[in-house]
Amino acid sequence: MENQENQLNQQEQLDQIERPDGAYDENQIQVLEGLEAVRKRPGMYIGSTDERGLHHLVYEIVDNAVDEALAGFCTEIIITLHKDGSCSVQDNGRGFPVGIHPKIGRPAVEVCLTILHAGGKFGGGGYKVSGGLHGVGASVVNALSRHMQVNVYQEGKVYQQEYERGKVLYDLKVVGETDRTGTTIRFWPDVKNEYDPNGIFETGEFQYDVLKTRFREMAFLNRGIRIVFRDERPEEPKESVFHYEGGISEFVKFINKSKEVLFPEPIYISGLVGTTSVEVAMQYNDTYSENIFAFVNNIHTPDGGTHLAGFNMALTRVINDYGRKHNILKANDTNLSGEDTREGLAAIVSVKLEDPQFESQTKSKLGNSEVRTIVNSLVGKQLADYMEENPQVAKLILDRCLAASRAREAARKARDLTRRKTVLESASLPGKLADCSERDPGKCEIFLVEGDSAGGSAKMGRDRHFQAILPLRGKILNVEKTRLDRVLANEEIKAMITAFGCGVGDEFDISKLRYDRIVCMTDADVDGSHIRILMLTFFYRYMRPLIEQGHVYAAQPPLYKVTYQKMERYCYSDAELDKVMTEIGREKKPDVQRYKGLGEMSAEQLWTTTMNPETRTMLRVSVEDAIAADEIMSLLMGEKVEPRREFIEQNSKLVLDLDI
C-alpha cells in the first residue's frame, strides 16, 4: 500500500515539473481535421502560395468541368474574373450530385467540397478518364478560399451552399427554379494582407494572359468544347472565346503560324485501343528545332514519358522503312536517327486513359508501359498508310530528314572543335575568357559582357575568386534562322559553349556545367536588349535545361546616377529616379547621369551596382509555358516578317522604356 502511495506521489511530482522547451510527447501530436491540413500545408496541394498557386485554384475547378466534357455531358465552360477579386466557373454538365451520401449522411455536393479524397474519379463509374485524379481539387480550392459559393442546376431546381475557409455556412437549400443543368462555383481566394494576416496567398491578382493560354490549350485538346473567358476587372471588359472543331490539328497550325510549313494540312492520327484513346497531329516546318508537346488526360507532360517514347519510335521506324522501300535511302546509307526525323517537326501527342501512372507527384512524366506499345503500333500503322497514300508529302519529309542528317554530320564535326577539353588541356578555353580561381561550379558565375570596353571594366571590378568574364564582340548569330552546323561555326557562340563546358544540343550534359550562374550583362539600351534576346534564343533552342533549372540570369545595371553634394544614388528605373528627385528636391537641381552603356562605368561602379552579390539586382530567366515560349521565340526571331509586324503594331503602346 505504501509502495502504491509513493508511486502516486512520484507521478504527481513528475506532472508538476515544467517540461523543457522542445519536448516531444503525446501533447505535441496534432490531428488536423477536415480541410485544416490543406490550410496548414498549402504547398503540398497546389505547389506554392504565389501567383502560380493562385492560378492553380482556377485550373482545378476548370479541370472538373473539362472532365464533365470528356465524359460527354458538358459542351460549354464560362470562366469569369470579377471586379471583387473572385473567380467563377460555370458549366452546363450534369451538376454535382445533390442527394444524401449513404456513408457520410450529407449532400454529395457538400461531401465533394469539404472532404479530401472524395470524388467520382476513383472507379465508381462516374468518369472513365479525368485530369484531376486525386479527388482533392474542389475541396482544396474551398479550403484556400476566404469564401465560396456553389450553385447546382438540376431537375428544374437551383441548389445553393456557401462556405468560409472550407467550413459550411448553411445547409444545402433550394433558391430558385431553372431549365438548365450544370454547376457554377464562385470563390474568393484567401489573400494575406494587413487586414487579414491569416490569409494564404501572397497575391490575389489573377493574370489574364497566363490563364488565357491555359484555356486555349484545353480547347485545342478537347475538340468541340467551347470555353468562354471573361475579365470584368478593367474599365473595358475583355472576353476570349476558344472553340476548335479541328482539335489538335488546329493546335499544330497554331504552333506553326509564324513558320513556313512543308505541307499545308497536318497529318492526323487517332484511335482507341481498349479504353485508351490516342490522338496525334504533326506537321513539319522550316525551323531547325523540334516542338513536340505531349499530354495525358489534358495534363501537359513536359518530361514526356511512355506515350512520347512510343511516338518517337514509330516515327523513326516508319520514315526509315519508307526510305528503304522506295530507294530514297540507298543500300550503303545509314539509317536516319530519331534526331533527324524530328528536326523541324511540330506535333501534339495526346492520350486519354483510365488509370494514368505518373513518375512524380507533379505529373510531368507518364509511366504506364502499355501506352508505349499502343502509341507505337497505332502511329506506326496509320503514318505508314498516310505516306503510301501521299507519296509527294512523304518525299518532302524524307528530303527534309536527309538534309537534317547531312547537317547533323557537319555539326558533329564542328562540335568536336568546341568540345571542352580536360583540366590538363585547359588551354582550350577561349583566349578572351577571364576565368575565376574557384573550381567548385556551385560557387562560380560567369558574366557574358557586351563589348571589350565593358569587358575591361568588368574584369577589373570583379571578384576573381568566383566571377569569370567572357566579353562578346558585336551581336551573336540569330540561331532561330540558322542550322546547328552554322551556329557552331560562329566564334562568339563557340566561345560560350567552350567556356560553359557542358556541350550543346543532344550532347548537352548539365552535370559538366562549370558555372552555377550564367549572367547576361548587356547595356541598358535597345541594342543591349537585342543582344540579350539573341543569347536567350541560343540558350532556349540548344541549352534549354540551363533556363529550366534556373542557371540563366539577366543583370540589371542602373540607368541613372544621381549626385547631390556628397550623396550618390543609383536608379534602376524612371520611377526610381522620380522618387529620388522628389526626395532631394527638384529645385536643388542634382546632377543626373544617364548610363547608355556599361563601358561608361568605372570598375568600382560596375562592381557596386551590378556585380556585387550583396547589393546587385538580377532577374532569373524562367520558362513558365513551353508552348507560349516557343511561339514568342518563333514570332520575334523567325523568318516570317508579317506576324512580327502585327505583334509590334498590337503592342507598341505598351512600351515603357523606349530608347530614342
Q: How far apart are CA 226 and CA 224, in angstroms?
A: 6
Q: Which three cell numbers stand for residue 85?
A: 477579386
Catalytic residue among 51, 525, 548, 600: 525
Say which residues have a Cβ less than 8 Å from residue 364's Cβ, sequence separation at least 6. Answer: 301, 302, 303, 358
376: number of Cβ within 10 Å: 20
Angle at 41 between CA 37 and CA 45, to 5 degrees: 90
Where do we find the cell 513556313?
A: 260
| DSSP state string for 330-368 | -TTSPPPPHHHHHTTEEEEEEEE-SS--BSSTT--SB--
| CA gap 378, 298 in Å, rounded | 20
264 exposure class (CB count in 10 Å sphere: 0-12, 13-18, 19+): exposed
d(CA 352, CA 361): 18
Contact 318, 384 (CB under 8 A): yes
DSSP labels for 494-533?
HHHHHHH-S--GGG--GGG-S-SEEEEE--SSHHHHHHHH
How far are the Cα atoms of 59, 145, 461, 519 from residue 606, in angstroms, in the given order? 44, 46, 7, 14
Grid cell listed for 318:
516508319
The one catalytic residue among 450, 480, 485, 631? 450
**SS3 at position 168:** strand
d(CA 397, CA 345): 10
Let me know if 425 is a catalytic residue. no
Cα separation, 383 vs 293, in Å, equals 18
d(CA 361, CA 359): 7
450 has catalytic annotation: yes
Four-point Cα dihedral 151, 153, 157, 158, nearest 10 = 20
- 76, 265, 303, 527: the active-site residue: 527
The CB density around residue 145, as the number of other CB atoms within 10 Å, is: 24
| Grid cell digits, residue 595 | 548610363
Considering the candidates 60, 231, 485, 523, report the single residue annotated as catalytic: 523
Q: Is 523 a catalytic residue?
A: yes
Quick one: three-class SS letters along 617-644?
Answer: CEEECCCCCHHHHHHHHHHHHCCCHHHH
Surface-to-core class of residue 371, CB atoms within 10 Å of its CB (0-12 exposed, 13-18 middle, 19+ buried): buried
Burial label for 543, CB within 10 Å (0-12, 13-18, 19+), is buried
The CA distances from residue 455 to 89, 157, 418, 464, in Å, are 54, 73, 22, 14
Told to judge if 525 belongs to the known catalytic residues of this protein, a careful annotator would answer: yes
Q: Which three cell numbers stand for residue 495?
A: 566561345
Query: Would you name the residues annotated as active-site residues?
Result: 450, 523, 525, 527
